[in-house]
Amino acid sequence: MNQKPGKGSAYGWLFQRITGIFLAFFLILHFQVLHFTKDWKIDFSLVTHRLESTWWVIFYLIFVPAGLFHAFNGAWQVIHDYRPKSGTRKTVKSLFWILGIALSAYGYYLIVTFTKGA
């Protein structure tokens, strides 16, 4: 119990709150535009039409990594609370980083593909 928290945990705590605020704003905006403003169903043409706007592209390019960071950082904090062994901690942290980067890259790829196709 005499462990001092490192700077990494303070940054993780801070970024968890910041991404939480961004996600709350992004989700409210996302649901408002997609589910409450228009009377049409969501289909491929609607998605490509929306991604013709630079602002929507920027919106999703921020939304994807913010959501992934928030999810993986939250899962990491839960795992960290159980105080796993050093090897397990390094393995899980590496796995989270690899998955986070891969999923962000895939999200960016999809957004850019839709943008080019539109």
Residue 73 lies in a domain: yes
Give the pLDDT confidence of 66-118 residue by residue, as tens digits: 999 999 999 998 998 898 899 999 999 999 999 999 999 999 999 988 887 65
Mean pLDDT of the chain: 86
Count CB-CB contacts under 10 A for residue 73.
19
**Token output for 78:** 């839960």
- Residues 17-44 have pLDDT tens digits of 999 999 999 999 888 888 887 666 778 8
Number of domains within the chain: 1
> Has residue 112 been placed in a domain?
yes
- In the prediction, which pLDDT does 1 show? 46
What CATH number is given to the structural domain containing 45?
Answer: 1.20.1300.10
Q: How far apart are CA 20 and CA 15, in angstroms?
A: 8
- Averaged pLDDT, 32-59: 82
- Indicate if the pLDDT at residue 2 is higher than 60: no
Domain span at 35: 8-117
Any domain includes 46: yes
- Model pLDDT, residue 22: 93
Domain annotation covers residue 1: no
pLDDT score recorded for residue 9? 75
Let me know if residue 2 belongs to a domain: no
Asked whether the beta carbons of 92 and 113 are under 8 A apart, the reply is: no
